[in-house]
A and B are shown apart, each in its own frame.
Chain A
Amino acid sequence: MKTFRDLLRDYRFALAFGVVCLLIAFSVLSLFSPYDPTRWGQVPRDLRPSAQHWLGTDSNGQDVFWNATFAVRNSLIIAVIAGIVSRIIAVIVGMVAGYRGGAWDRVLMFLSDSLLVIPLFLIIVMMAMLIRASLNLVTLGLLLAFFGWAWDARLIRSQILSLRERDFTQTAILCGTGTFRLVINEYMPYTMPLIFSTLINNMAWAIGLEITLAILGLLDMSIPTLGTMLYWAINYQAILLGRWWWVMTPITLSIMLFIALYWL
């Protein structure tokens, strides 16, 4: 708790933390939405922002404000699934590679190097194209998680390697501590900050990729996310037609989200 209070004294962290809280609160608002996010034509189309529709309405006949609450919520859900699942993979791979060493290390690091070098974006596009019909929030999160662990596994591995050289490892081994207990009890506390900071980065990466896939038309367009909102806005030529409230809402929200996550 004390560290947290110290962190809040850092204005940048405080600002970022505030924005993230705000965005989470915004996404919680979706629970009170008067509209069903999957149905179109519930409100008049293309209205400018007004007292009744705070951020106007779009060409699908949806309220931009309430739709955006769902979009932020869904994008965050995808990011959390992708982030947590890929963390689990990264921790297991990093710890096994770092602690076991030898052939395990070589094979696992070869895999993660390959994932780093191969243009993953194209592979993800290929997969998304084939399973487009069954891509919901969870499967998209899992798909991204499957590809998002490589770099972080390397970081965790190198930390484990340096921990393994420290004295307490020898002490613990000589005291008869089992490998599993050693890793969980002694190493985990040291790697937690790293795991947390990579989690945040990975979430930002997942949201970015979600937006990109959506704009390429590779997601289920009836689920509102930051990406699909932008997709519809572009699809209906909202920029050319001057419907700035529609385009700017997802763009502003995602810029806020990315910068806040990065500054955390």
Chain B
Amino acid sequence: MDATILRTERLQAFYVLDIYGKTKRIKAVNHIDLAIRENEIYGIAGESGCGKSTLLKTLAAAVEPPLRVIDGKVFYRINGAEVDVAALSAEEKRQLRMTYLAYVPQGSMSVLNPVRRIRDTYRDFIESHRDVRQKGEIFDLAREHLLELGLPPKILDAYPHQLSGGMRQRVTIALATLLKPRIIIGDEPTTALDVVVQRGVVQLLKDVQSRLRNTIVLVTHDMGVHANIADRIGIMYAGKIVEEAPAERIFRAPSHPYTRYLINSLPRFGDKTVRESVPGSPPSLANLPAGCPFHPRCPHAMDVCKQAVPEFTHVAPDHKVACWLVEGEGYGKSA
């Protein structure tokens, strides 16, 4: 098994807002332990508003007020040594971006600066990390990289609005991976693209990963994309990871009732039963219910669910769940 490259310890990050003198805390990331390995694609799934994007920001060390890390730590393994992100200076963090840890944003109209040609955006990004004196060198680098990924280099002369949505997203991915980062963090990179284009973008991410043999952390609410690309999946609910297992196992034997809902909402060939979605809506992160945050929507809720938060425990060597239904049900009691 490959070594851990990105790790969190009891990570807690809240938005702390001051509204007319009352302090409001939005618990977007609430006690999360992750251990993401080298050379894997780790998917994070969950409904909108469950804290996925905030988790990504914290992982990418891009925490800005009103978001604050309340407790816990994030570690990167850089050249074999584990580094506490909180100990890095702003400039050190900046230098790590793109070269060590790259970010792929959600596909949208405005993912690239609309007033600059693609090549100028490339120049801004590269100049910030590499000491390139000659303009030509930058463009040679960019052109070569685009060709490798099967994109026409002449798009460098275009403005973003002249490209299609799918092409813009591919350019973004190409740019993010230009300096061969060890970790790629993708925030809903396929959302807002149509299905056919989505496939192409997923394929591009896979290609990049197998070429660079690096790590991708991919957040999307689309279980279909996860099924397609992820090696392991973490299911996130109300600021917590509630289930984590290899992708194949999550889809075959989901343990958490919430995961089951997510998977059952996917269409399948030949299956004509009515698709079920999760009843109710996610809780407000500012005002979480007591006990397991899922209990108000859970069909199997018991008394204990309303009182205590279930521990995140093993049900199999590579499968962890936080649910009272599986608590004490064998494997992980001691873990």
Contact = CB atoms under 8 A, between A and B. Distances in A.
A10 B20 CA distance: 6
Q: Is the interface of A mostly helix, strand, loop or mixed?
A: helix
B21 interface: yes
A9 B18 CA distance: 12
Contacts of A9: 20-21
A6 interface: yes
Interface string B1-26: 00000000000000000001100000
Nearest to B20: A9
Contacts of A10: 20
Interface in A1-43: 6, 9-10
Nearest to B22: A9
Contacts of B20: 6, 9-10
Interface residues of B, number: 2
Interface in B56-97: none
A245 B21 CA distance: 40
A6 B20 CA distance: 7
A9 B22 CA distance: 10
Nearest to A9: B20
B18 to A, nearest CB: 11
B286 to A, nearest CB: 15
B109 to A, nearest CB: 16
B169 to A, nearest CB: 24
B17 to A, nearest CB: 14
Interface string B130-160: 0000000000000000000000000000000
A10 B21 CA distance: 9
Contacts of A6: 20
A37 to B, nearest CB: 42
Contacts of B21: 9
Nearest to B21: A9
A9 B21 CA distance: 8
A223 B20 CA distance: 43
A9 B20 CA distance: 6
Interface in B166-188: none
Nearest to A7: B20
A87 to B, nearest CB: 29
B308 to A, nearest CB: 34
A40 B21 CA distance: 52
B139 to A, nearest CB: 41
A110 to B, nearest CB: 27
B66 to A, nearest CB: 18
A6 B22 CA distance: 11
A241 B21 CA distance: 49
Across the A-B interface, give the 4 residue pairs with the lowest CB-CB distance, nearest first: A9-B20, A10-B20, A9-B21, A6-B20
4 contacts: A6-B20, A9-B20, A9-B21, A10-B20
